[in-house]
Amino acid sequence: MGNDLDPRLTPAQRFGRELGRARREAGLSQARLGNHLGVSSSFIGHIETGNRRPSTKLAADCDRFFKTDDLFTHLCRNITAPSGPSWFLRWSDEIEPRARVLRSWDPLLVSGLLQTENYARAVFRGGLATSEREIEEQVSARMRRQLILTKDNPLVLWALIDEWVLRRPIGGPEVMYEQLDHLATVASWQNVKVQLVPHDTPCTAGLMSGFVLAELPDAPTTVSIESSGAGEVSAEHDLAAFIWDRYDRIRAEAHRPGQSLEMIKEARDQWKQQI
């Protein structure tokens, strides 16, 4: 699949762009694809130009036909029920699901892909959500994203987390105990490595913002940078190289995965004592 990050594209146009690319790579005409999906060739043409919106059924049929996991389902959800700013939707629906390896740095919170429902709910309650319904939609979207860690041939996640995150009382002792118990479990998986950065290390390379680097099978390394509620997604070489260097500098200060896991368990037990 491609790497269309042009902010001028609407969600429907991004869906159409990916569908056209998948069709051409499969060597199919619009008519032949329409036959496989049970729709007309003109309908496929309108979808590919972004002039018609796909149904959730069509998106699921595209994923089954092209064997693209849930790429088209994600893109369709973006069209029908946006759950975040446009820059983040491009990341969560187009980049993250296709990544082979993710490398993240989180100075303030547990990584989103490693959060429990209650921890995520507490985070969103302190954010910009305006209603309980919006909070629950955001929590559900975050939980769906985590499926990329448990699907067949899951991606590899290297998560750098500031040690103070284990002490920050998000949601209270019970929520923190549940979160760190989950984090300890996930950190023992083969495809997930969690490393804590000591709180007494200057770590000046990581003070500006959190970020994620995505290694993709068919596109340049892409980076997502978030700071103070704003964010950016870019595959620009110089920026990606700069963030790679920052990641390496932070990781050089981090504890090894095994030691980090023991620290997570220790903090978890301390929160349990407060329940």
pLDDT tens per residue, range 244-255: 999 999 999 999
Q: Could you confirm whether domain 1-81 is CATH 1.10.260.40?
A: yes
The rounded Cα 179 to chain-centroid distance in angstroms is 18
pLDDT at 199: 85
Listed by start position, the domains of the chain span 1-81, 86-272
Enumerate residues 6+ apart whose C-beta is below 8 A from 269.
none
Task: Write the CA distances from 87 to 78, 116, 224, integer angstroms.
Answer: 12, 24, 9
pLDDT at 147: 87
The pLDDT tens digits of the residues spanning 69-106 come to 889 998 888 775 555 666 677 788 778 988 999 999 99
Examine domains 1-81 and 86-272 and report if their fold is the same: no
pLDDT at 5 over 50: no
Mean pLDDT of 53-58: 88
Mean pLDDT of 101-126: 96
Backbone torsions φ then ψ of 216, nearest 5 degrees:
-110, 150
Q: Would you state the CATH architecture of domain 86-272?
A: 2-Layer Sandwich (3.30)
Mean pLDDT of 210-215: 96
Give the DSSP letter string of 147-187: GGGTSSSPPEEEEEEEGGGGTS-SS-HHHHHHHHHHHHHHT
Residue 91 per-residue DSSP state? I
pLDDT at 219 over 50: yes
pTM of the model: 0.72
pLDDT at 209: 85
pLDDT at 3: 45
